[in-house]
Structures are given as structure tokens and as C-alpha cells.
Structure 1
Amino acid sequence: MADTKIPPGPATGEADRAAGSRSPVIGRPSRGRATSGSGRMAALLVSPTLLVLTIVVLYPTVMALQESLHGTKGLDPKTGFISDTEPFVGLKNYADIFGAAGDRFWNAFWNTTFFTVVTVGLETVIGVAMALIMHKAFSGRALVRAGILIPWAVPTAISGLLWRWIFNSNGVANALIGHQILWTTEGFHAKVAVIIAEVWKTAPFIGLLVLAGLQVIGKEVYEAARIDGASAPRQFWHITLPLVKPALLVAMLFRCMDALRMFDLPYILVGARKNSVETLSMLAQSEASNVRFGPASAYAVLLFLYVFLVALAFVRLLGADLVGDSDTAKPRRKHRRTPFSRRSEVTA
């Protein structure tokens, strides 16, 4: 009986091709090589931003730090000659700030801190209220949104001149309250004038960011809460506020950094060298206008450190909410909805 050989058919060829497709392909780039390529592309795309930050932020900061270690031109007490260059004095400018010029520095420091805490607190409350109003659906909503956002679009210098006219001795503010108050002079009323003008101008900024956070909340979340019997205050406390918290914290962080550098509004509204409203930025500008660039740079460096420490503490304490981690956001939403869903489960 003869042996018969079966020639390889199409099925055998397909199996060989399938086996070949499962085998590693020679010349295919590895994952590590692709990652390094994407890393180089990311560095290339980020490099213009880093270059701009280096020119605008890093270089002026280093130059200010270097300038703060030098004194002013003039008579050299050691030699008795007039010096054309700024002598190197080391940390003497910082020692003078906390020593001989300590009273003025601490007054400006506490004014800056007071304005930051009060204005940011009021702007947060008013901004959230503005966002809730702008988020509601009613006729004329576009006009209301435009009216709320107009103060934020007005330049600060124009806003200072406007409020200076309002707080004039014969201005609108005194006409409304029926008393003669000199708002733009020394005293606590000068602080009140600066706070009112600052809150009027920058509260819409927080309202705009909170409005963006409100618009990403689904309507079904509120419908489920209403079905579970949640009242409007409980919906705001357990749904609205937790879900807009990341946007609100970012807005507060930017406003804190901006308020710590407050200069133009109190300078235009009240004036320079007023102990009631003088801030650290105004103090640095006052020294620079008197051609004392070394002490002015020292004040600027201290202000930079103050702003940096506040921002760092803000991010460290509330970093998870600022980053907006998606892994932690889902359990939080589920946890926030349990007080309303628990009632429906008990009823069932």
C-alpha cells in the first residue's frame, strides 16, 4: 500500500502566517524608545514657556536678590569719598528692615495681610453668590452676566479714580450715609474704602471661575437629590459646594497672590505714604523712588518670599483639591450623595 503525501493547503499556510504574526517583529521600536521620543517632544513644546518664565520671572528675581545686597550711592563712611558705585553691604539692608525701619515694615506687613484676608474672604462669599445668580436660567441672564463682569474688566487705575470720586468729601458715599467722612485720609475708614473698591472690582473674577465649575455639574445629580427629599440648602452644602471646590480653591489662590501684591488701588485711591493703607509693594516703590534701590530690592525680596510661602502652604494643605485627581473625585462624589440616597434605601 503506497504512502500518500498531503500537500500543504491553505489552512496550513494560514496557520503559519498566524504563527508568524504572533512572533516578535524585527525592527519595531520598543516602548522605552517611544517614551523617550515623546519626552523629547514634550520638552520641545514646553521650552518656549520655560524661556519666557526665565526671562520674565527668574532673571528679575535673581537681579533683585543681588541688588538687595548693595547699598546706595553717596558718601562712603569708611573712606569719606563720594562713591559712584553701589557698595556691597551684605545683609545690612535686611538688618535695617527688621531694626531701624522695623516699625514701617511691620505696619505695611500687617496692612497687606489684613487686606488679603478681608478682601479674599468677602470676594469668595460674594463671588459664589454671583455665580449662583449667573447660573440660573431666566430672561435677561446675558445682560445680568455682562453687568456683573464689567467691574472686573475695568482697569485698576480707572477703578481707583472712580472710587476716589465716590469717596470724595462731597461725593456719593457721604451723600448716601448723610455724614461727612474723609475717606481718603488716615484712619480705619481709609482701609474700608480700599476694601470696598477692591471687592467691587475682583469679586466677579471668583464668580466667573465658580460659574465655570457650576456648568459641569449634571442636572441629574440635583434631580436625584430632590427625589430623595433634599432641601435647597442641603443641595448647596452637599452637592454644589464640594463639586465646585477645586475651581473655588484655584480662584482663591490667585486672588491671595494678587492681593498680597496690592499696590495701584490704595496708591491711587488714598495716596502714597499713608500708614493706614501702605502695603509692602507701596513701601518698595517708595524706597525705589528715593533712589534707594538696595533697600527697595530687599523689600521686594521679602514680599516675594511672603507670596511664595503663602502659595506653597495653600498648595500643600489643599493640593489634592487643586490638582483635581480623578481617582479621588469619584469616591468623594459617591460619599457626598449617600446622605440623600440612604433615606431612599431606608424607605425601600
Structure 2
Amino acid sequence: MAVTKTPPETGAGRAAGGDRGPVNRRRARATAGSGRMAALLVSPTLVVLAIVVLYPTLMALNGSLYGAKGLDPKTGFIRDTEPFVGLQNYADILGQAGERFWNAFWNTTFFTVVTVGLETLIGVGMALIMHEAFRGRGLVRAGILVPWAVPTAISGLLWRWIFNSDGIANALIGQQILWTTEGFQAKVAVIVAEVWKTAPFIGLLVLAGLQVIPKEVYEAARIDGASAARRFWHITLPLVKPALLVAMLFRCMDALRMFDLPYILVGAQKHSVETLSMLAHHEASNVRFGPASAYAVLLFLYVFLIALAFVRLLGADLIGDVGADTHKRKGRRLRIPALRRAEVTS
């Protein structure tokens, strides 16, 4: 009967398997300590966000469940307090009586899509110009960033003067267009003013992304015979994509909350340019805080969903890159021992 003896465990074997327990415990303690330190460092920011964002959001959500003060049909007297109506405000907003809400919703969406799209194209062009090395580049950069530095209220008054019936815009095109009244021309005026002001913001963030791209990449592509268009499409755009997506995220969130520019440039209660923020402000200014809170909550949900979509897009891109690099490294580690064995055998 053959007896199989297990060879004694060598020092390398103990190091590889038997002594892993203490090492893993030390790693777990180090990880827990790092987690506690991270939580301690982040806690002031979380407290500030809870006070500035979470508490007002909860108060708005609570206020949206109450109606406006008015005549009580049961008693015939004016109510002293706001009545609890539950979800009636949301039903009125989203139902057949919510035509004004849907108009403001589509205006907000239209302004966001058009302005962010134009600002992205113009901002990328500005970034490419500011990135080139030429004499007077600092002056050009300062001139491009001036519109972003102008306060929105001042910008609205400036463009209101330009779009007057006897203003510069009509003098240039040779026609008499009432830009600041009802109609599609009012939308065009708001879009022009918004793009002029905020396109430099996207240009500034894209410029920061361009400056971290190594010059050797462009030199190698130029040696290989790649044209300027191919270098932009296959090198510049993919490498600057994270900065561009972040800039578009910030601009989308800002455009969805657009209030001051159309309010100053065109005016309040204009059907063609009224946004969700303007609608909520109108309800609150008329002491209808319940419907105003409901409008604010719906706008918050809309902005949150758009921001979540952008964050998921950014996160999926980063995880995909990391996963691809990991597979490549694993493939290299798996192929190396096979090559060594082949060398030894030969």
C-alpha cells in the first residue's frame, strides 16, 4: 500500500499562505483608519450641504403639500393658515390646468439644448484659439473672458439696449424687429445674449483640458501624416472629453435654472420666454407659496435627473477605461510566464 507523504511547508509557502492572516488584518485596520479619516475630512462639507441644500429642499417639499390662503368655502371667511391639500398642487400643475407649466417646461428645455449646444461649439473654438502660441495671446484670452466676468443683470440691460426697436441690432440688419416682445424673436434675443455671456466659460474649462495634452502626441501624429482635422477628431477631442463633459454639465444645470437674463431682457409673464424659475417666482410673489414650492420641487427633480445622467455618463467612461487597462495588464502578466517557459524548454 503506497503512502503519500505531504512535503513539509517551506518558508516560501508559509510566506505565501500561512502568514497572510496578520498581513490582511493590518491592511484591514489601515483601510478602516483611512475611511475614518476620509469621513472626518468630508463631514464639514456634508454638514454645510445639509444646511444649505437638504433642509431647504425638505421645507419646499413640505410647503408644496399646502394650498394658498383664500376664501374657505365651508365657512365663507378668509383662512388664517394655509390648508393642507396633499398632492393637489402637483395634480393641478401636471393636469389640464397646467398649460402654463408645460409651456415653461418646453421653454426651459429649448433654451438649455440650444444654448448649451452653441456654447459648446463656440467654446471649443475659443479654447483652440487661446491654446495656440502667437503674439498677443494674453490679450486675446482676456478679451474672450470679459463677457463671463460681466454680471448677468448688467448683461441683460446691455442686450436690452442692443435689441431696442431703434437699437444696434435693427440698425445692422436694416429691419424693425421688436425683439423684446412676444414671439420667436424674443427667444432668439435670449439665446444670443446667453451664448455671448457663457460660451467663454466652456472655453476656459476646455482650455484647461488642452493644456495637459502632451505635445509629443501631436508631433507623432504629424510625423505619421495625420491632417489637422484628423488630429482634432482622434487626439484632441477624446483627450479633452472629460473636461468638456464637466463644462457641459455645469452649463446644463445653470441653463435649466435660467431666470435673471430673460426676466431682465424681455420681462416677466412673457409666454414665449417664461421658464420654470420665472414661473415659481411669479407664484411666490403673489403669495401662493404652495404652488410655488411645487414648481420648485419639479424643477429640482428635473435638474437632478439631468445631472444624474451626466454623472452616470462620466462614471461609465472612467470605469470602462480602468477595466480595459486592467485586462491589458492581466494579459501581459499571463503571457510572460508562458514565454519564460518556452525559453527554458528551448
What is the TM-score normalised by the length of structure 2?
0.85
Match of 1:180 among 176, 183, 188: 176
The equivalences for 1:1-348 within 5 A come to 30-321=26-317, 328=324
Deviations 1:90-126 (A, max 9, x none): 0111111123531111110110000000000000000
2-structure distance, mates of 1:248, 1:330: 25
**How much has 1:328 moved relative to structure 2?**
4.8
Give the SS at the match of 1:278.
coil
Structure 2 unaligned regions, length at least 5: 1-18, 329-346
Structure 1 unaligned regions, length at least 5: 1-22, 333-348
2-structure distance, mates of 1:214, 1:281: 35
The 8 Å contact of residues 190 and 276 in structure 1, kept in 2 or not, is answered as yes
Counterpart amino acid of 2:179? W
1-structure distance, mates of 2:42, 2:323: 26
What is the TM-score normalised by the length of structure 1?
0.84
After the TM superposition, list the runs of 4 or more consecutive aligned residues in structure 1 that deviate by more than 4 angstroms: 322-332
Identity of aligned residues (%): 85
Give the SS at the match of 2:170.
helix
2-structure distance, mates of 1:84, 1:114: 40
2-structure distance, mates of 1:194, 1:83: 41
**How much has 1:309 moved relative to structure 2?**
1.2
1-structure distance, mates of 2:315, 2:258: 25
> Once superposed, what is the RMSD of the aligned Cα atoms?
2.1
Deviations 1:222-281 (A, max 9, x none): 110011110000000000000001110111111111111100000000000000100000
1-structure distance, mates of 2:81, 2:293: 16
The 8 Å contact of residues 69 and 91 in structure 1, kept in 2 or not, is answered as yes
Deviations 1:145-191 (A, max 9, x none): 00001101111111101101111111111111111111000000000
Question: Number of aligned pairs?
Answer: 307
The 8 Å contact of residues 242 and 314 in structure 2, kept in 1 or not, is answered as no
